[in-house]
Amino acid sequence: MQSSISLSISSSSLAPLGSNSATDFAHFAPINLRFCGLRREALGFSSLKHSDSKRVHISAGSSSRRKVFAALSGNGSPSKFDYDLLIIGAGVGGHGAALHAVEKGLKTAIVEGDVVGGTCVNRGCVPSKALLAVSGRMRELQNEHHLKALGLQVSAAGYDRQGVADHANNLASKIRNNLTNSMKALGVDILTGVGTILGPQKVQIGSSDKIVTAKDIIIATGSVPFVPKGIEVDGKTVITSDHALKLEFVPEWIAIVGSGYIGLEFSDVYTALGSEVTFIEALDQLMPGFDPEIGKLAQRVLINPRKIDYHTGVFASKITPAKDGKPVTIELIDAKTKKLKDTLEVDAALIATGRAPFTNGLGLENINVATQRGFIPVDERMRVIDANGKMVPHVYCIGDANGKMMLAHAASAQGISVVEQVTGRDHVLNHLSIPAACFTHPEISMVGLTEPQAREKAQKEGFEVSVAKTSFKANTKALAENEGEGLAKLIYRPDNGEILGVHIFGLHAADLIHEASNAIALGTRIQDIKLAVHAHPTLSEVLDELFKSAKVEAHVPSAVSEPIAV
């Protein structure tokens, strides 16, 4: 049974928070306040499981709080480990796991050999969104037809390259500091150095003799850009996304190898800033990871009208950086015959061929774990599997390092799931409920299965698949913004109303997808979500109309509790 905690908090313990009336605050602030969006643990409060007879004195200081947790863990006996949970890697996944672990009362440390925030914050989704924010503004200011339709007149738009680069770098620094400060405020120990697993529940920090023990270990080391053989990266004219985010120069003509999320987003940035782009895609169609219908529409809007051409069905077998006045040269071979097909000369080349797990040097051999193409094998609960197919006790792996779903928010969700398990609640994450987004202009988002995937599954399992669609052209808010180009697509089972997948292309698609992803996560059926009310006029009505247009054969109640009349 969990009951409320009686707290006695001195004004001196709150003084470091900068309050001028700490005594009054301590007397009147209820424990369940969110404090302007901060987790209450950031101010030294936390929920503890204990008997009704216990009263606990907790100061705002993190060391005092950890002592309380240590005293109450293990039925009152001191822990034989330095930490309850040790996380190797302080990216978004590790950070999410650490915060949830503290909320659950675990003494937690996180090991980082580079910088807090990992790829997403420092070399990925955060700085790229800063660049995409610029490209979005540039597109608006350059679109005379769009502005004229709104009755606006704007003189020619320009940009300062260094100013744009500084915006991306400053955003990354701000978010990195936020993550660091949030962990410190919650009492998470940040251990600097590369973490190497020496054996069960034992990790060496850096090259020193410092060894820490932990009851449970989470590996969250992320990934690095994947560069195929034959491509020479010099960081100047042949670059990866790590280099491109620094925006050290804007080439007149840049080839982008790969047309997935990374390639598409950078094509949006470069064309908005004046570059010509050439896509090089090994498969027969652009955007191979997207639902084909959405990909076809996106190509018509994002590629065809812009200064972009493309080569499909070819590999970039050799790329040589520019030097001695010569341009970057790219040799293209046919993906099937492997014969030389063409040679391109461009000002720069961006390698956007995906990412590879960063798992070398972790000491996996010390726990008999063999990687698979670099990925650490795990089961559905993120428990690490050894070379004999057996579970390694107390070791988990989340995020890009396990390869299940290489998205920052998926890593965080996996980390939270692991913490739930180590604190006594079994939890299996439904990866089909995790959304993904491409932040082009307009955006693309998706959750669940594509239509081909759904039909393949239906054929194997013996059920029917139906598809519903709605257009942004029928949405009042989209038309008010003069942004009617877009489509939402629902893939579902007509026999029971199960949502199999939702795909959106259009204004703010990345924000709209979460209604669908939450419905999949909660098991909500179409017949129930049809009854939800959406504010008018909003873009959310695109989803409202989408669900209402679906035809479900019979009402099958979903696992949702009965509503209460108020």
* Phi, psi of 249, rounded to the nearest 5 degrees: -160, 160
Residue 490 assigned to a binding site: no
**91 known ligand binder:** no
Using the CB atoms, write b or e for 152-176: b if 16+ within 10 Å. eeeeeeebeeeebbebbbebbbebb
Q: Is 281 annotated as a binding residue?
A: yes
Round to whole Å and give the CA distance between 125 and 130.
Answer: 9
Q: Is 270 annotated as a binding residue?
A: no
**Which is nearest to 246 in space by CA: 190, 321, 173, 165?**
165
- What's 196-249 look like in SS3? EEEECCEEEECCCCCEEEEEEEEECCCEEECCCCCECCCCCCEEEHHHHCCCCC
Residue with tokens 């257009």: 471
264 annotated to bind ligand: yes
Residue 506 labeled ligand binder: no
- Is the separation of the CB atoms in 376 and 400 below 8 Å? no
Q: CA 332, CA 434: separation in Å to the nearest integer?
A: 36
The residue count of the chain comes to 566
Are the C-beta atoms of residues 497 and 527 closer than 8 Å to each other?
yes
Tell me: is residue 259 an annotated ligand-binding position: yes
293: phi then psi, degrees, rounded to nearest 5? -65, -40
Q: How many CB atoms are located within 10 Å of the residue 12 CB?
A: 11
Q: Which of 27, 427, 536, 555 is catalytic?
A: 536
The one-letter amino acid code at 254 reads I
What is the 8-class DSSP label of residue 332? E
243: annotated binding-site residue? no
124 is in an annotated binding site: no
155 labeled binding residue: no
Tell me if 51 is assigned to a ligand binding site.
no
**221 assigned to a ligand binding site:** yes
Question: Is 252 known to sit in a ligand binding site?
Answer: no
Token pair of 552, please? Answer: 């479900």
DSSP string, 9-42: --HHHHGGGT-S-HHHHHHH--TT--STTS-GGG
The continuous run of DSSP H or E covering 95 comes out as helix 92-103
State yes or no: 400 annotated in a binding site: yes
Helix (H) or strand (E) holding 86: strand 83-88
Residue 210 is assigned to a ligand binding site: no
Q: Any known ligand binding at 311?
A: no
Q: Residue 460 — left, alpha, or beta (φ > 0 → left; ψ -120 to 50 → alpha)?
A: alpha
Q: In this structure, is the dihedral angle defined by the CA atoms of residues 374, 379, 381 and 383, taken in order, positive or negative?
A: negative
- C-alpha distances in Å from residue 474, one per residue of 335, 419, 467, 480, 537: 42, 44, 18, 11, 11
Q: Answer yes or no: 536 catalytic.
A: yes
Both structure tokens of 188: 């998470």
Question: Which residues fall in the annotated binding site for NAD(+)?
Answer: 258-265, 281, 354
Question: Which residues fall in the annotated binding site for FAD?
Answer: 129, 195, 221-223, 400, 406-409
Which residues have a catalytic role annotated?
A: 536
Question: Which residues fall in the annotated binding site?
Answer: 129, 195, 221-223, 258-265, 281, 354, 400, 406-409
